[in-house]
């Protein structure tokens, strides 16, 4: 067994939760994350391994500034081109290399960094008796972080695929990965894709 797998093999009740791998963040997108293309092959391989146990999240901005609340209004004042009234709808789609996995993969839309806010994802996972989340996607220091910490708070075994997450800023990605490894070492397992695939049973 690989040394990075602290808590035994990944069992049949695991789900791959892929965070926000959308055209919005891909090549030519208004929020292009350069590393997204580099981790995409690893994410593709992970989704292909268990497409029926994959959930893709999508970040969906509000239609207009009036629909944004609190600090989000200030945020979208800086990024008005991301609002739904300006953004071409196709920018919200999954990257083409991943879209074909749906179905059987599922899609969960969200309007904030975390996919946990409305409770729908947690209810679905509990009903399906999911106990482990294998997390990929972007960005490591924003939406992936919110996803992973929310998973920990809800008691899921949380596995971060270390070579299948990315950020716009190398320094922020490295700092986030260091935090996961040093501060959440008992609750977040940072594991490369090869070891994830070798240790996922069922």
Is residue 118 within 8 A of residue 142, CB to CB? The reply is: no
Q: Which pLDDT belongs to residue 32?
A: 93
Average pLDDT of 86-113? Answer: 97
- Is pLDDT above 60 for 3? no
pLDDT tens figures, 174-194: 999 999 999 999 999 999 999
Torsions phi, psi of 64, nearest 5? -145, 170
Q: What domains can be seen in the chain, in order of their start residue? A: 14-62+92-199 (3.40.50.850)
Q: How far apart are CA 80 and CA 72, in angstroms?
A: 11
pLDDT tens figures, 149-164: 999 999 999 999 999 9
pTM of the predicted protein model: 0.95
Please list, in sequence order, all residues whose beta carbon lies within 8 angstroms of the beta carbon of residue 31, skipping any fewer than 6 positions away: 24, 25, 82
């Amino acid at each position: 067994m690989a040394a990075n797998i602290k808590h035994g093999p990944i069992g049949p009740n695991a789900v791959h939760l892929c965070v926000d791998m959308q055209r919005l963040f891909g090549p030519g997108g208004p929020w292009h994350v350069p590393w997204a293309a580099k981790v995409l092959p690893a994410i593709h391989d992970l989704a292909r391994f268990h497409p029926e146990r994959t959930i893709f999240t999508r970040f969906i901005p509000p239609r207009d500034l009036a629909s944004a609340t609190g600090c989000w209004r200030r945020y979208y004042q800086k990024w008005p081109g991301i609002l739904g009234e300006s953004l071409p709808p196709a920018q919200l789609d999954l990257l083409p290399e991943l879209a074909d996995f749906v179905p059987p993969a599922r899609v969960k839309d969200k309007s904030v960094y975390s996919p946990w806010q409305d409770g729908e994802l947690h209810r679905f996972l509990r009903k399906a008796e999911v106990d482990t989340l294998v997390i990929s996607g972007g960005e490591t220091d924003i939406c992936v972080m919110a996803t992973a910490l929310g998973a920990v708070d809800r008691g899921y075994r949380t596995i971060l695929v270390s070579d299948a997450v990315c950020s716009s800023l190398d320094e922020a990605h490295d700092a986030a990965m260091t935090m996961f490894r040093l501060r959440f070492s008992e609750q977040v397992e940072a594991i490369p894709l090869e070891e994830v695939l070798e240790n996922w049973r069922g």
